Homo-oligomer: A and B are copies of this chain.
Amino acid sequence: MSTDLLTDETCGLRERKKRETRRALNLAALDLVEEKGFSAVTTEEIAARAGVSARTFFNYFPSKEAAVIGTTGEELESYAAQLEEVRDGESPIGALRRILAGMLAPASIDRELRTRRRRILLGEPSLAPALVGNNIRIENALTAALERRLGVAPGSALEPRITVAVAIAAVRACIEHQQNGGSGDLESNIDAAFARIAVGLG
């Protein structure tokens, strides 16, 4: 399931147009936030720049924040799939480190978009609540995937949820540390954080 996330052609005109519109709204939102800051942007402006009506905006995103953050259900599925596929010698926490770091790194495809997204999201403190809210979705998706990987019934065991939550928290803490002008670069800080977690905080 989920081959590429972008070249993925279930292509009727309809599906393609929907993808384009969604993307156009996302890009318009990022543009405008970059120009004027999140709170100064209105949903009408975003819709206008994307070339659709104000009402249509809300057919694609449930809120202004969501349009800026722009995480799709497909992306969630992709992360979950990555976690389910077992690489030999890789622990769950190691896989989580890889996947979460990958979410931040500029991917091979869509390089500029990822980079821009990251810069804008990190630069807008007013989006912080929405971002951690978005993490809930990621956490749920990854928890379900880890449960499948471990072969336990959904919601039965505490451990998978703890593992995922701690991993996400570690990454988030590194981001926050960076936003506050802390030392070190993000990559190596994430490495350090996961090393610390693996060995125990006691």
Chain A interface (Cβ within 8 Å of chain B)? 91, 93, 128-130, 132-133, 135-136, 139, 155-159, 161-166, 168-170, 172-174, 176-177, 180-184, 189, 192-193, 196-202
Q: Cα distance A132–B189 when bound, in Å?
A: 23
Would A170 and B177 count as touching, CB distance under 8 A? no
A68 to nearest B CB, angstroms? 15
Question: Which chain B positions have C-beta within 8 A of A177?
Answer: 155, 158, 161
Question: Which chain B positions have C-beta within 8 A of A200?
Answer: 197-200
Q: Cα distance A192–B182 when bound, in Å?
A: 32
Q: List 9 A-B contacts (CB under 8 A).
A: A93-B201, A159-B196, A162-B196, A162-B197, A165-B169, A166-B169, A169-B169, A197-B197, A199-B202
Would B158 and A184 count as touching, CB distance under 8 A? yes
Question: Which chain B positions have C-beta within 8 A of A157?
Answer: 182-183
A101 to nearest B CB, angstroms? 15
Given A93-B202, A163-B201, A169-B168, CB of A158 within 8 Å of CB of B128: no
Question: Which chain B positions have C-beta within 8 A of A173?
Answer: 158, 161-162, 164-166
A142 to nearest B CB, angstroms? 12
Would A166 and B132 count as touching, CB distance under 8 A? no
A121 to nearest B CB, angstroms? 15
Question: Which chain B positions have C-beta within 8 A of A184?
Answer: 158
Question: Which chain B positions have C-beta within 8 A of A172?
Answer: 165
Q: Cα distance A133–B129 when bound, in Å?
A: 4
